[in-house]
Structure 1
Amino acid sequence: MSDYWQYSFPPFFTIQPNTETRRLQMDAWTEIILDYCRRNRIFSLNIGDCLTKAPFRNDAISRSLTEESLLTILQEMAKRGRIEWVRPEGTSEKKNKNTDGGNRQQECLVFWLKPDEWASTVEKWVDAKSMANTICTFYEITDDERADSSLKGLDERILLKALKILEDKGKATIMKMDNSYGVKFL
């Protein structure tokens, strides 16, 4: 995190009350989190797990974000389209809202590339591998030896979002097969 001077500045770990200062703080936190996730190929964050780890904690200055501070940052990132909250199975969207502090969000997908950028990456892979008019499993796209290094290990939930974009453009058809998905590239 040495690329970011703010990370060594203790007040950076406390949400700032001044509107302009907070905007700059949110810009920096967004950049730090996205960069960290990209470098480490992290596609989702669990709030409880990440509070004790970098970049949310800086042992060199004995500072860390509180859960409330992290939620404030992630809510701002959600407004910017850089994360998306994951609803626990069996909960509705209304039931999972964090309005009264009772039912907090716990996991989010991190878009260090937005879904439309992932769609473009998949499309380039399809062209490079001459995969038009073929059917692939998600495993073949993200984990197979033919998988592009930029797609290796991509979270299936993010891949599904990217493929839905390609489907909307008429470039793919998503198929549900048993308990998994496949896709035909057109």
Structure 2
Amino acid sequence: MSSGGGGEGALTGYVGRFKQRDAVELLEYMAEEGDVEWEGVGKAAAIVYWKKPEEWANVIYEWIDNTGQKGSVLTLYEISEGDLTRNQEFHTIDPYVLRKALDVLVRRSLAQVFGANEEMGVKFF
């Protein structure tokens, strides 16, 4: 990626030559791999995932299983901000990404989501 001696300066030079069409091409590739989700009309914005929703679903469900939370009902706040998740990598997860991960668990019949917005809860099986 760099031209020459490496270091931060070389990377900055590369980024300066990075064109919008290159960024769109990169995002298109990432979307094909499931690492990006387009938003808005005409792909006006993109959500770039650090982990795919399927991966977050696995991490969250592993925590549910390891902590004996199956059969429990938890709010989205408890999952993303609660004291029990403070040491988990999904602590402070973006609410949109959390919803996508929970949708994966629902499709796998491992969770049921009910309620709306602030009052949303999840039961895990």
After TM superposition, the structure 1 = structure 2 runs for residues 62-141 of structure 1, keeping only pairs within 5 Å, are: 63-64=15-16, 65-87=18-40, 96-97=41-42, 105-106=44-45, 108-141=46-79
Report the CA distance shift for 1:9/1:152 in structure 2 as closer, same or farther (over 3 A).
farther
Aligned partners of 2:63, 2:101: CA distance in 1, in Å?
Answer: 13
CA separation of 1:183 and 1:161: change in aligned 2, threshold 3 A: same
The whole-number CA distance in structure 2 between the counterparts of 1:76 and 1:118 is 21
Amino acid at match of 2:90: L
Provide the residue aligned with 1:177 in structure 2: 116
Alignment match, 1:146: 84
* Percent identity between the two aligned chains: 26
Residue from 3, 7, 13 that aligns with 1:9: 3
> Which residue in the other structure is 2:8 paired with?
none
Structure 1 residues 176, 67: closer, same or farther in 2, change over 3 A?
farther
Assess, with a 3 A threshold, how the Cα gap between structure 1 residues 111 and 134 changes in structure 2: closer, same or farther: same
* CA–CA distance in structure 2, aligned partners of residues 109 and 178 of structure 1: 20
The number of residue pairs the alignment matches comes to 119
- Residue 84 of structure 1 deviates from its aligned partner by 0.5
Which string of whole-angstrom CA distances, capped at 9 and with x for unpartnered residues, describes residues 18-67 of structure 1?
xxxxxxxxxxxxxxxxxxxxxxxxxxxxxxxxxxxxxxxx43x3643233
Aligned CA distance change for structure 1 residues 110 and 62 (closer, same or farther; 3 Å)? closer
Instruction: Provide closer, same or farther for how the CA distance between residues 171 and 105 of structure 1 changes in structure 2, counting only shifts above 3 A.
Output: same
4+ aligned runs moved over 4 Å, structure 1: none
* Unmatched segments (≥5 aa) in structure 1: 1-5, 11-57, 88-95, 98-103
State the distance in 1 between where 2:14 and 2:25 align. Answer: 21
The CA deviation at 1:183 is 0.8
Over aligned residue pairs, what C-alpha RMSD do you find? 2.4
Equivalent residues in 2 for 1:56-67 (5 A)?
Answer: 58-59=11-12, 61=13, 63-64=15-16, 65-67=18-20
8 Å CA contact 2:76, 2:122 repeated in 1: yes
Please say which of residues 175-184 and 128-137 is displaced more in the overlay: 175-184
